Amino acid sequence: MKKSIITTLAVGIGLAGGTGVSVNTAQAASWHKGMPKALQGTWKTKYNKAFRVSFKLKNGKNYTHSYGNDPDFLNRTHYRYLGHHDYKIVGYEPIYSKKNQTRYFKWVSKHHIVFSTYLKKGYGTSYYR
């Protein structure tokens, strides 16, 4: 009888002690270095008749460079996943402002992304592979 009470007490204390252990999980809203793999690569817009140019966007491992009439570079990028295939990219702009700038990307498919300088649903420039 004494043996079963001691065993029950030991198991109960062991279970109660295990509930106080905290487990660290990954934070979905944390910042990550570089660019998301889904956005990396060379992208371009459809030909724009008004400007007579097709804009080009090149996303590398830790940079995003946009070419067209006016260059737009971001180096030393890091990103946050916002949900629903939306990404917030922050990086250093070395040409004009020489400060950190923010860009927003939406991954639509493996052949289509939407680029914007502000977070507004339905607005932005479509780029294709």
> Does residue 9 lie in a domain region?
no
Enumerate residues 6+ apart whose C-beta is below 8 A from 102. 88, 89, 90, 117
Which residues partner with 44 through β-bridges? 56, 128
**Position 21 in a domain:** no
Confidence band (pLDDT; 50, 70, 90) for 123? Answer: confident
Segments forming the whole domain that contains residue 49: 29-128
Residue 62 within any structural domain of the chain: yes
CA distances from 75 to 22, 98, 100 (A): 37, 11, 9
CATH number of the domain encompassing residue 96: 2.40.128
Closest CA to 110 of 48, 59, 43, 35: 43
54 part of a folded domain: yes
Amino acid sitting at position 7: T
Q: What's the CA gap between 6 and 73, in Å, rounded? A: 69
Structural domain contains residue 18: no
Instruction: Quote the number of domains for the chain.
Output: 1
pTM for this predicted structure? 0.74
12 within domain boundaries: no
Residue 108 lies in a domain: yes
Residue 48 included in any domain: yes
DSSP string, 42-106: EEEPPPBTTTTB--EEEE-SSEEEEESSS-EEEEEEEEEEEETTEEEEEEEETTTT-EEEEEEEE
Q: Report pLDDT digits (tens) over 64-109.
A: 999 877 888 999 999 999 999 999 999 999 999 999 999 999 999 9
Task: Name the residue type at position 46.
Answer: K
pLDDT at 21 over 80: no
- Tokens (6 digits) for 96: 């004009």
